[in-house]
Structure 1
Amino acid sequence: MSDELKPWSIVASRDVYVHEPWLKIRVETLELPDGRRVEFHQVDTRDFVIIVPQTDDGRFVLLRQYKHGARRVNVNFPAGTMETGEPPLECARRELLEETGYEADDWTACGGYVLMGNARGATCHLFVARNCRKVAEPDSGDLEEMRVEVMTRDELLATVARGDFAIASQVAALGLALNPEMAAALAQGAARGAEVTG
């Protein structure tokens, strides 16, 4: 018996609901390494980015806005869905400018991570943007109203303590904001992953 864990094989896949470009649900028949076959639902939504922006004096740029999934107004880092074929960093630059009016030249990619372990959902690409500077007024064109807020680390922690964060992927980004060592380690892992797949 080998100690090496093996991936599952996709034997068949069928769409059960499609609403392009936003959502696709399909059922995959999978073969496990021991020969058993199982079915898993897969949920495909559009991949997206989350940016942790910091100004040159170390303050964080955030958005206060209503999010319908959370059913309430909450605090988020800038984020947005990727257009078809759009590289993650290009999307991150675009979303930061559109949603906040800020730009940055110092970007760190911290990797792409799926939202659900077995159903996938989407891939969230995390970025840290340093030395951000305001160059324009926000112009996101989104449905939701947003308010840009710039916070010190202590103000950010107070916001967390008030329960103002409501979205799991945003809490992951919060970890990057509050733990630079983790952000550096994830960036190193993302670079290694790119070398393996590139």
Structure 2
Amino acid sequence: MEFHVWLGFVAAAALLGVVPGPGVLSIIGYAVGSGRRVALASVAGMAVGNASAMSLSLAGVGALLAASALAFSIMKWAGAVYLVGLGVITIVRSRSGAFGGVAASAPITARAAFMGNVAVGTFHPKTIVFFVAFVPQFISPDGDYISQAALLVVTFVGVVGVTDTIYAVAASQASHLLRGPRMSTWSRRAGGGALIAAGVATAAARN
């Protein structure tokens, strides 16, 4: 793979990372609802999920999803239901702090956020289909396929990991401005709303 081709892929990956999608919305939801530590755990989970999705697409699963409307729909709705359900749980939990000055219940744990975004990143069907259509353009037929594919996977995960981290830190900083039990409750509700929005965006994906 020539260096200028790799730089082109870096630029494309950075653009994809900056544009908000279901993954970014879920990270923002965790940041606003549960703080920086949980948000960064969700970024790590998304990185693992992206690596898995990209590997699956390069292994041929993306072609299967592109060809099978049923398989695409199953993965799409499973991801959407998960995100919406998690958003609803976050909002319901926030209500425990909305009455009588009682502190809000425990937020989503870092482990749950990590595992949740591993699932979101891995099983987002639009991502897998996109990879199988987009990434091969940067692979030279004259070079070793596996080494080039591995380089692109590492590059994409690294670049998007940086943009996801920026979103996580910025959103968590904004949430720190909302001090006090009442504002904390609304902060968590906003985070739950962002997770629900991520689920809706996933459900809206078309094959």
Note whether the superposition's TM-score is higher than 0.5: no
Structure number with higher relative contact order (C-alpha < 8 Å, ≥ 6 residues apart):
2
* TM category, shorter: under 0.3
TM-score by length of 2: 0.23
Higher share in strand: 1
TM-score by length of 1: 0.24
